[in-house]
Structure 1
Amino acid sequence: MAQPGSRWVPVAWQELPGLDSDALHEAWNAWVRSCERPPPAFVALCPQVRRLSIGTPQEQRAFLFERLQPYRIEATNGSPDGLLTGYYEPELVAMRQPGNGYTVPLYRAPAGLASRKPWYSRQQIDTLPEAQAALQGRAIAWLADPIDALVLHIQGSGRLRITEPDGSTRMVRVAFSATNDHPYRSVGRWLLDQNLVRDATWPGIKAWIAQNPQRVPEMLWSNPRYVFFKEEPLEGLDAEFGPRGAQGVALTPGRSIAVDRQSIPYGTPVWMASSGPTGQIQRLVLAQDTGSAIIGAVRADYFTGWGQDAGDIAGRLKQGLRLWALWPR
């Protein structure tokens, strides 16, 4: 099985670690979601996938063995080892109008975004009158902390407890819409390169910020990439799932991964095995998203959910990874 960015090697099911201990029904919810926009190779399987969403673990396992072939995913040089990181949906407090300390905007894409590539950088958006004029009236909401906004830009979406002008509050989602087409640069890497910190985790970055508030704009501007959002309702079943990933389907906490689409097509069921400081993960997941930093054959970003607990897990997750694609026979 040839992919542009990886090599797939057929293997026996016995090679997959932890195969007998995974709660497959949890993954089935994510698989049913993928069947809303299935890759061509899976279209014929989706009716049975949907029926088996209420099947027994034995029936689900038998379906995997009968209909799918596992392939070990390797880099083109033959290495099966890669990297797992995590991402999540932040939950933040926001205001519909600026004031009372809420001065950091989250913008919709400007009308002329496509006419200028790349668009203005993060520093230019903050400082140039012409960039600010192009964004006039485009703010969805306002945050109090520029670091919260940066986290939201990095994660790509979030949940806002937003206060409306009449004082009422409600939960909404701000989902990824577009970028200014500048490359992503890690602020943690900038701090390390400047010899300003030794610990570039979020707690380390926030500790540096507390001691150097006057240098926060300089740190933020080291990442020229800027993300624009769109507002979505967050009610009923939508609140039980994550945002829509690059496949166009809602993400499932603990069962959706972002991948390099040159290595793994969207909608592919993947067996994931990872062990490290955060613990051991051996489970069935679905390739449903991508990200600007997710590059490489054996590379995945694990969607951990939303809120502080999910953020803590995602922030600590950086460990070894092996992947097996499960493809129709």
Structure 2
Amino acid sequence: MLLSTLSIRLPGCRSSSIRSTGLAAVAILGLLAGCGTARLPAPTPATVTPPVITGELPATPAPLPPSPRQVLQRERSRWVSADWNELPGWGSDRASELWPALLRSCGKPAPGWAETCARAALESPGDDLEAHAWLMRHLQPYRIESLDGQALGLLTGYFEPQLQAQRRPGGAYRIPLHAPPPELAQRRPYFTRAQIDGDAMVRTRLKPWEFGYVDDALDLLVLHIQGSGRVLMQEPDGRQRLLRLAFGGHNEQPYQSVGRWLLERGELRGGDASWPAIRDWARRNPQRLGEMLAANPRYVFFREEPLPDPKLGPRGAQGVALTPGRSIAVDRASLPYGTPVWLDATEPLSNTPLQRLVMAQDTGGAITGAVRADYFWGWGAEAEAQAGRMKQALRLWALWPRGQRPG
């Protein structure tokens, strides 16, 4: 990222202005090197035995041995200490945009984060350069690997569906949204999706728990798969309210991918099981939509919640609101919730680099393994298009407080 004139104030340093035509990372490293209180710890000099000179001096001095790397092992991953210049694209991100998500995670800090979180709240950076410098001063990067040393993994995407609904059935709006019935906790497994959708006796039994109606069964399936969403609800008096549908439980039936069901039957061309491809198949085969939906017996129930800030996503597994473009779901056995992460991948539609700071704030049933993440795109049609096609190669670096061992 090219910079114009930048001003920065680091704790204990004079305010400085930089006119740079190079990378932001160069400016960050220069500031850290030039400020007494912001200096990174110097590496311990290695002891090297001088070579015995028997003739001409060598053209270049013998290289010093590399500094030993710290290797930490978690249940499903290895953390290998790294230098900041090893992070691809470091310095190019809008690092100050991470701060709201970071502070939300600090409301439920991971072990070892209390002091760093207190600093983050008191020393909020004024711009991206200050944010990068703060992170480099207080955190240590670790490359994430599998237990057998594999550093390349998979990045997928998810989003928050946004639907329109009516409080009462009418016209095309006849597909019900269900709150969890009281008997859900006692009867396990509960009725399958096919029974809830097509059995008259089961539908009558669940009638008291219908609280809204949508017009598209495939949209409802997407909502069930994502586990939460937002809905623009039309009330009987004509008013519209934007609400969040939070996960309220499911029927304890196994989840089955409808994309895989279509692939196994040769219904999708070229092996493309993305959501745009599934929607296209459904448009071309409306008479088989019920058959496809029944292939996934899992059914999800929802609870209505207010939506005080439409700019924030649903609560993730950490218990804090997700931030579009700054939150990821991870395997907790690899990365603790509340960990800042440097992500190196590409965007699905443009194939442009996706190198940015994100927070590990969520998880998912399919998100397992060391180098594995699900990127939260937000909500709406564009978020669905990006998330539905995302299946990218991935590398990850965890950023952890200096002097603290990851729990």
Name the TM-score, length of structure 1 as normaliser. Answer: 0.94
- Please tell me whether the aligned partners of residues 341 and 358 of structure 2 are also in contact (alpha carbons under 8 angstroms): yes
- Please tell me whether the aligned partners of residues 347 and 354 of structure 2 are also in contact (alpha carbons under 8 angstroms): no
* SS of alignment partner, residue 135 of structure 1: helix
Instruction: Give the match for residue 291 of structure 1.
Output: 364
Instruction: Give the match for residue 103 of structure 1.
Output: 174
- Please tell me whether the aligned partners of residues 276 and 320 of structure 1 are also in contact (alpha carbons under 8 angstroms): no
Aligned pair count? 327
- Please tell me whether the aligned partners of residues 125 and 132 of structure 1 are also in contact (alpha carbons under 8 angstroms): yes
Q: 1:222 to 1:70 in 2, by over 3 A?
A: same
- Please tell me whether the aligned partners of residues 266 and 287 of structure 1 are also in contact (alpha carbons under 8 angstroms): yes
Task: Decide which of 87, 92, 104 is 2:158's aligned counterpart.
Answer: 87
C-alpha distance in structure 2 between counterparts of 1:15 and 1:47, whole Å: 28
Task: Decide which of 74, 99, 103 is 1:3's aligned counterpart.
Answer: 74
Q: What is the CA distance between 1:70 and its match in structure 2?
A: 1.1
Instruction: Give the match for residue 27 of structure 1.
Output: 98
Instruction: Give the match for residue 209 of structure 1.
Output: 282
Task: Decide which of 247, 254, 275 is 2:318's aligned counterpart.
Answer: 247
Q: 1:13 to 1:209 in 2, by over 3 A?
A: same
Q: What is the CA distance between 1:54 and its match in structure 2?
A: 4.3
Q: What is the CA distance between 1:83 and its match in structure 2?
A: 0.8
Q: What is the CA distance between 1:184 and its match in structure 2?
A: 2.0
One-letter amino acid matched to 2:385: D
C-alpha distance in structure 2 between counterparts of 1:227 and 1:4, whole Å: 30
1:154 is aligned to 2:225? yes
Q: What is the CA distance between 1:110 and its match in structure 2?
A: 1.8
Instruction: Give the match for residue 198 of structure 2.
Output: 127
Task: Decide which of 171, 175, 181 is 2:246's aligned counterpart.
Answer: 175
Q: What is the CA distance between 1:129 and its match in structure 2?
A: 5.2
Deviates more, 1:20-29 or 1:135-144: 135-144
Q: Which has the higher contact order (CA 8 A, sep 6+)?
A: 1
* SS of alignment partner, residue 137 of structure 1: helix
One-letter amino acid matched to 2:399: L
C-alpha distance in structure 2 between counterparts of 1:139 and 1:2, whole Å: 48
C-alpha distance in structure 2 between counterparts of 1:186 and 1:81, whole Å: 25
Instruction: Give the match for residue 390 of structure 2.
Output: 317
C-alpha distance in structure 1 between counterparts of 2:383 and 2:112, whole Å: 33
Task: Decide which of 51, 54, 60 is 2:122's aligned counterpart.
Answer: 51
Task: Decide which of 292, 296, 301 is 1:223's aligned counterpart.
Answer: 296
- Please tell me whether the aligned partners of residues 276 and 388 of structure 2 are also in contact (alpha carbons under 8 angstroms): no
C-alpha distance in structure 2 between counterparts of 1:264 and 1:140, whole Å: 38
Q: 1:263 to 1:181 in 2, by over 3 A?
A: farther
Deviates more, 1:119-128 or 1:224-233: 119-128
- Please tell me whether the aligned partners of residues 84 and 274 of structure 1 are also in contact (alpha carbons under 8 angstroms): yes
Q: What is the CA distance between 1:75 and its match in structure 2?
A: 1.3
* SS of alignment partner, residue 136 of structure 1: helix
Q: 1:276 to 1:46 in 2, by over 3 A?
A: closer
Name the TM-score, length of structure 2 as normaliser. Answer: 0.76
Q: Give 1:231-310 correspondences, 5 Å limit.
A: 231-235=304-308, 238-275=309-346, 277-278=348-349, 279-310=352-383
- Please tell me whether the aligned partners of residues 52 and 60 of structure 1 are also in contact (alpha carbons under 8 angstroms): no
**Larger % of strand: which?**
1
- Please tell me whether the aligned partners of residues 92 and 159 of structure 1 are also in contact (alpha carbons under 8 angstroms): yes
C-alpha distance in structure 2 between counterparts of 1:134 and 1:296, whole Å: 41
C-alpha distance in structure 1 between counterparts of 2:178 and 2:124, whole Å: 39
Give unmatched runs, 5+ long, in structure 1.
Answer: none
Q: 1:84 to 1:304 in 2, by over 3 A?
A: same
C-alpha distance in structure 2 between counterparts of 1:133 and 1:6, whole Å: 49
Aligned residues: percent identity?
Answer: 55
Write the deviation string for residues 116-142 of structure 1: whole angstroms up to 9, x where unpaired: 333222123223456435533222321
* SS of alignment partner, residue 41 of structure 1: coil
One-letter amino acid matched to 1:249: V
Q: 1:180 to 1:52 in 2, by over 3 A?
A: farther
Give unmatched runs, 5+ long, in structure 2.
Answer: 1-71, 403-407
- Please tell me whether the aligned partners of residues 348 and 386 of structure 2 are also in contact (alpha carbons under 8 angstroms): no
Task: Decide which of 176, 183, 188 is 1:112's aligned counterpart.
Answer: 183
One-letter amino acid matched to 1:315: G
- Please tell me whether the aligned partners of residues 318 and 337 of structure 2 are also in contact (alpha carbons under 8 angstroms): yes
* SS of alignment partner, residue 356 of structure 2: strand
C-alpha distance in structure 1 between counterparts of 2:172 and 2:244, whole Å: 22
Deviates more, 1:135-144 or 1:53-62: 53-62
Q: What is the CA distance between 1:53 and its match in structure 2?
A: 3.1
- Please tell me whether the aligned partners of residues 93 and 161 of structure 1 are also in contact (alpha carbons under 8 angstroms): yes
Write the deviation string for residues 261-294 of structure 1: whole angstroms up to 9, x where unpaired: 1211111111100026432110110001111221
Q: What is the CA distance between 1:244 and its match in structure 2?
A: 0.7
- Please tell me whether the aligned partners of residues 255 and 298 of structure 2 are also in contact (alpha carbons under 8 angstroms): yes
1:63 is aligned to 2:134? yes
Write the deviation string for residues 197-252 of structure 1: whole angstroms up to 9, x where unpaired: 224222322222223222111101111222221111123xx211111111110011
C-alpha distance in structure 1 between counterparts of 2:249 and 2:94, whole Å: 36
- Please tell me whether the aligned partners of residues 275 and 389 of structure 2 are also in contact (alpha carbons under 8 angstroms): no
